[in-house]
Amino acid sequence: MSDARFRNPGWAGNTGEFDLTEADVRGSEFVGEQPLDGGHPGVAPSLPYMLVRKDPEAPLFEGPYLERFEKIRTRYPTARAALIPALNLAQELRGHVSPETMDEVAALLGLSDAFVRGVATFYTMYNKRPVGRFLIQVCTNISCNIRGADEVLAAFLEHTGTELGETSSDGDFTVAEAECLAACGFPTCVQINSRYFEDVSVEDVPEVLARLKREVNDGF
Amino acid sequence: MTDTVTLTIDGHEVTVPKGTSLLHAAETLGTEVPHYCYHPGLTAPAQCRICLVEVEGAPKLQPSCVTMAQDGQVVHTDSPAAKRMRQGVLEFYLVNHPLDCPICDMSGECMLQDYVFDEGREKGRSREPKRVFGRDDFGGDVLYYGDRCVMCTRCVRFMDEVARDSRLTVVERGSRAVIDTFFDRGLEGASFAGNVVDICPVGALVSKDFLHKARAWDLDHTPSVCPNCSQGCNIELHTRDNLVQRLKPRENQEVNGHWMCDYGRANYEWMNRPGRLEEPAAGRGAKRRRVDWKSALEHLFVQLRAGVGAEVKVVGSAAASNEALAALAAVAGEAGEVSSRVFRSPRAADEVPLPGFPLLVRRHDLAPNVDGAGLLGFERTGDDEAKGGLEDVAGHDGVLFVLGDELADRNEDFGAAAGLYVYLGAFDSPAARNADYVLPVTTFAEEEGSFVNAQGRVQRYRQGLQSPGSARPAWLVLGALAAALGGHGTPATAADVFAGLVAAHAAFAGLTWDALGDRGAALRTEAVHG
């Protein structure tokens, strides 16, 4: 994997002042393709990347995922407290949190289905509908807005050929608007899956999308 | 260590037990601090921010529902700071509120309407369009209007804490937040969900049954007791146009807390049933003719006195008041040798408890006064559907009294052999064809009286409807007859009959009509279990 792929606009923290690669910043073992089982249960929750391939039909939970779920359960005093990481795990596996997923997680944790729905809908980071392979979240809050976030958002929509919140016909891209991504020093900030792309301007958009396409074609 | 604290609220010194919230302390002075999320039967999350009051020394306003009173505290509920804050909070509540009071069922008893009317701004300053949700059918009797909701979460907490059936939740957040169930799973099958309509401070949760039926200010409220099972939940009859429009629970911590079950709540149409017996009648079958009360009772009195010594059988009802049953027993006793006193009453296979308030159970017995009937010497007969069991009564050849049992499973031969057959009821029946006297009596909603509930508690109910024609309370008719036969004074009120009942039945000893009040009083334990 070439370091050049992650040049600006790219990974968070690349201010251009230092000649650092993403691997230097995040640690090389966390960059690139993830093992399909999500990694060792001890470290998986802190991995920066979510699983690349989602399976909406994946069982909740089996094998290493069951191990991770049980680990999560032991880290929290009550089932309620374990709900958010359990939903994270389900979304990592399935790509989105469907009503069926909420129901299954509720049953696994012994919580009421309504309560799980309340939590899942409260947090915008749970996708309540299927999303594309790349979920492109463009910050349109104050700092980014001043730097032309609305135009960046429009550019993403134009180049992916989708409507806001919809998924492109090839299933690769979902473009959404996000509130502050806490990267106000580097507007416009765009979060694609779990990666931050900073200082994104309208001109960068085709290149960012091309890079994502390349990653798909390379099979990550 | 003292158990009380003394503080000053709005310039008045008040002493309250330790652990009293400022909201309750203010209540003892007659000051209502506005509140939405706080409800005395639920936990207080202090999230509605409308009950904030000024406490001297505190840097910010304090939520009075969860701030405990402390010695020497100086509290202002009506200071400029508190008022300004309430006005601000109310303005926020109205940002997205549709202000559809003219078509809202809650209008007239709505806490948002009341508070805004009292203290709100004349005009809101929001210029953005209001967001619109429309309405959502929660199933059961509950309908949800998201636009009216103030997000107090009383309903969510009721289902969590009291019904222990967490079917409601807050879905989404911010201005998109609504109350909902798990997608289309709804509230169907929940046995106490109707209470969320009662505790909703605004018009967000409304009853489908009551939808657009009546305005709050057109309803008369009558303290009563739920007649649909032997729990005897304290309720109010809400009436208009001489019809019961709905039942609402009335607080009584000894019986039902703030709650009542959906079964009881939904079962009121029978109180409005038309086709009543309105005038007394005498004569069997084709010879039946209308008579006035005076001649009916005089003739009956003469016949009863002439036939003294005959064998008497009595069919009572577990839906009749203690007063009616006691007067019936007294009349029967004066008339002759009482060989059986029975009642029939439906029984449910199951009981339905309210987990968060264990005193409240929808009982097996689906009649209000099974225990009272038992204490007054009536025995249960028939099956769990209140049928059968009257075979020996049907062919009885002595004196026969029927009160409040429609004899739906009996035919026209009933009472054909009786020497004297007196039928007292609200509705005519084919089995009343052979009655020598058919006397129209009032229903539960049209009279005063008392029931004994399954806890052994005597509770009064009051008259909410006018009776049709010249129907009279059974205790008045039978009390007069018993007095004439026994040679003592005629009772004029239910209280008089109750006093006679207490004197005649040891189980009721020590009780007085006034002491029962609107909360009831327990029988002595040995009377219940002895």
Per the structure, the count of domains in chain B is: 3
CB neighbour list of residue B126: distance below 8 Å, 6 or more residues apart: B91, B94, B95
Residue B341 domain-assigned (yes or no): yes
Same domain, B407 and B508: yes
Q: What are A163-213's pLDDT values in tens digits?
A: 999 999 988 899 999 999 998 998 899 988 777 888 899 999 998 898 888
Q: What percent of chain A has pLDDT over 70?
A: 73
Same domain, B301 and B446: yes
Final residue belonging to a domain, choices B166, B198, B218: B218
Name the residue with tokens 């790509």: A95
Residue A60 domain-assigned (yes or no): yes
Q: Name the pairing type of β-strands B310-317 and B399-403.
A: parallel
Residue A208 domain-assigned (yes or no): yes
Q: Name the pairing type of β-strands B437-440 and B420-425.
A: parallel
CA distance B188 to chain A (A): 14
Say if residues B91 and B125 touch (Cβ distance below 8 Å). Answer: yes
Q: Which residue of A has its CA nearest to B175?
A: A122
- The answer to whether the peptide bond before residue A74 is cis (omega within 30 degrees of 0) is no
Q: What are B470-500's pLDDT values in tens digits?
A: 999 999 999 999 999 988 889 999 999 999 9
Same domain, A114 and A164: no
Per-residue pLDDT of chain B (530 residues; tens, 9 = 90+): 579 999 999 999 999 999 999 999 999 999 999 999 999 999 999 999 999 999 999 999 999 999 999 999 999 999 999 999 999 999 999 999 999 999 999 999 999 999 999 999 999 899 999 999 999 999 999 999 999 999 999 999 999 999 999 999 999 999 999 999 999 999 999 999 999 999 999 999 999 999 999 999 999 999 999 999 999 999 999 999 999 999 999 999 999 999 999 999 999 999 999 999 999 999 998 999 999 999 999 999 999 988 777 899 999 999 999 999 999 999 999 888 999 999 999 999 999 999 999 999 999 999 999 999 999 999 999 999 999 999 989 999 999 999 999 999 999 999 999 999 999 999 999 999 999 999 999 999 999 999 999 999 999 999 999 999 999 999 999 999 999 998 888 999 999 999 999 999 999 999 999 999 999 999 986 555 44
Residue A8 domain-assigned (yes or no): no
Residue A157 domain-assigned (yes or no): yes
Q: For the domain that residue A67 is a member of, what is the CATH number?
A: 1.10.10
Same domain, B330 and B462: yes
Residue A36 domain-assigned (yes or no): no
CA dist., res. B405 & res. B378, Å (int): 13
Say if residues B196 and B149 touch (Cβ distance below 8 Å). Answer: no
Q: For the domain that residue A194 is a member of, what is the CATH number?
A: 3.40.30.10
Q: What are A102-116's pLDDT values in tens digits?
A: 999 999 999 999 999
Stretch A74-90: mean pLDDT: 93
Phi-psi region of A128 (alpha: psi -120 to 50; beta: other; left: phi over 0): alpha
Looking at residue B414, the DSSP 8-state letter turns out to be T
CA dist., res. A162 & res. A146, Å (int): 24
Q: Name the pairing type of β-strands B52-55 and B62-63.
A: antiparallel
Looking at residue B50, the DSSP 8-state letter turns out to be -
* Three-state DSSP state, B191: coil
CA dist., res. B428 & res. B499, Å (int): 31
Same domain, A147 and A115: no
Write out the two tokens for A215: 């990653």
Final residue belonging to a domain, choices B93, B119, B142: B93
Residue A26 domain-assigned (yes or no): no
Q: Closest Cα to residue B345, out of B301, B395, B381?
A: B381
Residue A212 domain-assigned (yes or no): yes
Same domain, B383 and B299: yes
Residue B104 domain-assigned (yes or no): no
Say if residues B368 and B451 touch (Cβ distance below 8 Å). Answer: yes
pLDDT for residue B530: 41
Chain A hits for B185, CB-CB cut-off 8 Å, are 113-114
CA dist., res. B238 & res. B83, Å (int): 34
Say if residues A199 and A184 touch (Cβ distance below 8 Å). Answer: no
Q: Which residue has the higher pLDDT, A49 or B453?
A: B453
| Single-letter amino acid, residue A213 | K
Final residue belonging to a domain, choices B195, B218, B241: B218
Say if residues B203 and B148 touch (Cβ distance below 8 Å). Answer: yes
Same domain, A178 and A110: no
Chain A hits for B168, CB-CB cut-off 8 Å, are 114
- The answer to whether the peptide bond before residue A188 is cis (omega within 30 degrees of 0) is yes
Alpha helices in B127-193 (DSSP H): 154-157
Q: For the domain that residue B398 is a member of, what is the CATH number?
A: 3.40.50.740
- For chain A, state the CA radius of gyration: 18
Alpha helices in A11-55 (DSSP H): 22-26
Q: Which residue of B has its CA nearest to A128?
A: B172
Q: Which of B169, B180, B183, B185 has the highest number of chain A CBs within 10 A, making it the mutation to test binding with A?
A: B169
Same domain, A116 and A144: no
Residue B429 domain-assigned (yes or no): yes
CA distance A114 to chain B (A): 5
Confidence (pTM) = 0.90
From B170, B172, B185, residue closest to A113, measured CB to CB: B185
User: What is the residue range of B22's domain?
Assistant: 4-93
Same domain, B88 and B140: no
Q: Grade residue A155 by pLDDT with cuts at 50, 70 and 90.
A: very high
Q: Does A4 contact B at CB distance below 8 Å?
A: no
User: What is the residue range of A93's domain?
Assistant: 53-122
Per the structure, the count of domains in chain A is: 2
pLDDT for residue B70: 95
